[in-house]
């Protein structure tokens, strides 16, 4: 308890799913948490949970597709707490469709949120972290991208592969400025509202059935994801540069 006392952590897409459990994990470790999302009711619910965990926090409505929103999100963080130490760029979307049915609008929808949004976030987060004298960024990627594919997710996979390349390149740009940039490729984490749960709903698969798809024999627990996020944001992980950490219960290994 208290590993992030005094630190300020920003989590995008924190209204539900992986973003919500990540925000709560930071809260339990003493961080002051910025809950950022386009979904204000969901974001306020997360903020209430953050405060119930005993942490200070702030909800900021921000659309990561809009650079002015992202810039304002970071500015509000600094206005409230004076600095930004950790950022988890988690906001993401998926619309399932085979490529012959995918529209240009649908493809742009993925690019604008999943890829352009991460670009905007890192740009403005790093500008502030340089003023701080350092920080840590974790981008939420996916095994569906540069590691593997999944039918019906061509646009999603393309953007997540882009996030992987963006992560590695930006990590090298700021490695000597005491800023670490890494990504997580998670699959099958039990956090309702995330992309994997949306896929389960599309396929009409229960959590028990989904668990049997993984070599470990179950879905992942929320704290099995958040423990990795917190580690990558900690001072102990500063020698980890541009890494894509897979958390998938053995899916890729099989």
Q: What H or E segment, with its residue span, contains residue 58?
A: strand 57-61
What are the beta bridge partners of residue 153? Answer: 97
Identify whether the C-beta of residue 42 lies closer than 8 Å to the C-beta of residue 17. Answer: no
Q: Check if 120 is active-site.
A: no
Give the number of other CB atoms < 10 A from CB of residue 124: 20
Which one is catalytic: 59, 96, 156, 196? 156
Cα(35)–Cα(89) distance, integer angstroms: 11
Identify whether the C-beta of residue 167 lies closer than 8 Å to the C-beta of residue 182. Answer: yes
Angle between helices 67-81 and 116-132 (to 10 degrees): 30
Look at residues 47, 185, 190, 19 and name the one whose alpha carbon lies nearest to residue 11.
Answer: 19
Catalytic site residues? 156
């Amino acid at each position: 308890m208290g590993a992030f006392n005094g630190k300020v952590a920003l989590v995008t897409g924190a209204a539900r799913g992986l973003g919500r459990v990540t925000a709560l994990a930071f809260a339990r470790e003493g961080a002051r948490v910025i809950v950022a999302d386009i979904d204000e009711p969901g974001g306020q619910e997360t903020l209430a949970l953050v405060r119930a965990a005993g942490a200070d926090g702030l909800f900021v409505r921000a659309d990561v597709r809009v650079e002015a929103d992202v810039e304002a999100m970071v500015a509000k963080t600094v206005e409230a707490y004076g600095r930004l130490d950790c950022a988890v760029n988690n906001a993401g979307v998926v619309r399932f469709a085979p490529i012959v049915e995918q529209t240009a609008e649908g493809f742009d929808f993925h690019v604008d949120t999943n890829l352009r949004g991460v670009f905007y976030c890192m740009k403005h987060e790093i500008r502030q972290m340089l003023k701080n004298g350092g920080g840590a960024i974790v981008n939420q990627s996916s095994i569906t991208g540069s590691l593997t594919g999944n039918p019906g997710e061509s646009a999603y996979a393309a953007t997540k592969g882009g996030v992987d390349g963006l992560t590695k390149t930006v990590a090298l740009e700021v490695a000597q400025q005491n800023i670490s940039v890494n990504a997580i490729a998670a699959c099958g984490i039990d956090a309702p509202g995330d992309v994997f749960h949306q896929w389960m709903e599309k396929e009409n698969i229960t959590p028990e059935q989904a668990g049997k798809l993984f070599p470990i024999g179950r879905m992942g627990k929320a704290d099995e994801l958040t423990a990795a996020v917190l580690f990558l944001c900690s001072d102990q992980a500063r020698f980890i540069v541009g890494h894509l950490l897979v958390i998938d219960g053995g899916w890729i290994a099989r």
